[in-house]
């Protein structure tokens, strides 16, 4: 009774697996490859490491803290720190096009006194800063899952129309 097989099955092919030498190893190699990608991703090789970019002038210092590489569908935070060395009458932050290109700006704290856009760049105006004032701006984003490639994530600090500091940078979006 134990030696009988259901109709359509053959002992040498379906029980003893005769002639199937490479299929199990192919399956194992594919599973190992997927497992390796998962482990590498868990170790943080695919984005989410923050990079600090600093820009300095006699009037102010600007520090931009944001990931260099992100993945589609990811939520991430950017942080801008401004320290005024001299009074700044009309502080403006102009973000590069890549900050909002196929990314959703979920929240921005503190809210600017005025905001506009110019040439695809988000322009944020804040209240005047006195010497020694420190302004920290937090930006929360979601990356569009179809967004792939490198984008401009530069930040320019202005006093009215006069440039005080410029922090260059790019953000790379992985699928």
Containing domain of residue 36, as a range? Answer: 11-42
Residues 99, 153: Cα–Cα separation, whole Å: 5
Q: What is the per-residue DSSP string for 140-154?
A: EEEE-TT--EEEE--
pLDDT score of 46? 66
Residues 99, 70: Cα–Cα separation, whole Å: 12
| Reported pTM | 0.73
Tokens of 169: 């940078």
Q: Does some domain include residue 119?
A: yes
pLDDT score of 2? 64
Asked if omega into 47 is within 30° of 0 (cis), the reply is: no
Q: Does some domain include residue 1?
A: no
Q: Is residue 70 within a helix (H) or strand (E), and if so which, with residue range?
A: strand 69-71
pLDDT digits (tens, 9 = 90+) for 109-153: 999 999 998 888 999 999 999 999 999 999 999 998 888 889 999
34 and 103 both lie in a single domain: no
Into how many domains does the chain fold? 2
Sheet holding 50-56, edge to edge: 50-56, 60-67, 75-84, 134-143, 103-109
Displacement of CA 7 from its chain's centroid (Å): 57
Q: CA angle at residue 122 from 118 to 125, to 5 degrees?
A: 95
Displacement of CA 61 from its chain's centroid (Å): 24
Residue 3 pLDDT more than 80? no
Q: Does some domain include residue 6?
A: no
Residue 21 pLDDT more than 80? no
β-pairing, 149-152 vs 155-159, is unpaired
79 and 62 both lie in a single domain: yes
pLDDT digits (tens, 9 = 90+) for 37-76: 888 877 767 656 778 899 999 999 999 999 988 888 889 9
Tokens of 93: 């932050």
90 and 156 both lie in a single domain: yes
139 and 162 both lie in a single domain: yes
Residue 1 pLDDT more than 60? no
């Amino acid at each position: 009774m134990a030696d009988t097989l259901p109709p359509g099955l053959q002992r040498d092919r379906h029980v003893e697996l005769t002639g199937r030498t490479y299929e199990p190893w192919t399956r194992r190699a594919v599973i190992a490859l997927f497992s390796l990608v998962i482990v590498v991703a868990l170790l943080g090789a695919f984005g989410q490491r923050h990079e600090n970019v600093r820009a300095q002038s006699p009037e102010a210092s600007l520090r931009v803290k944001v990931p260099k590489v992100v993945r589609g569908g990811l939520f991430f935070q950017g942080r801008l720190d401004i320290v005024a060395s001299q009074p700044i009458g009309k502080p403006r932050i102009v973000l590069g096009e890549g900050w909002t290109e196929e990314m959703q700006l979920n929240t921005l704290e503190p809210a600017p006194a005025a905001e506009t856009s110019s040439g695809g760049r988000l322009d944020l105006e804040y209240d005047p800063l006195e010497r020694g004032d420190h302004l920290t701006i937090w930006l929360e984003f979601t990356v569009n899952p179809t967004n792939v490639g490198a984008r401009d994530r530069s930040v320019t600090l202005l006093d009215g129309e006069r440039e005080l500091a410029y922090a260059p940078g790019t953000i790379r979006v992985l699928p």
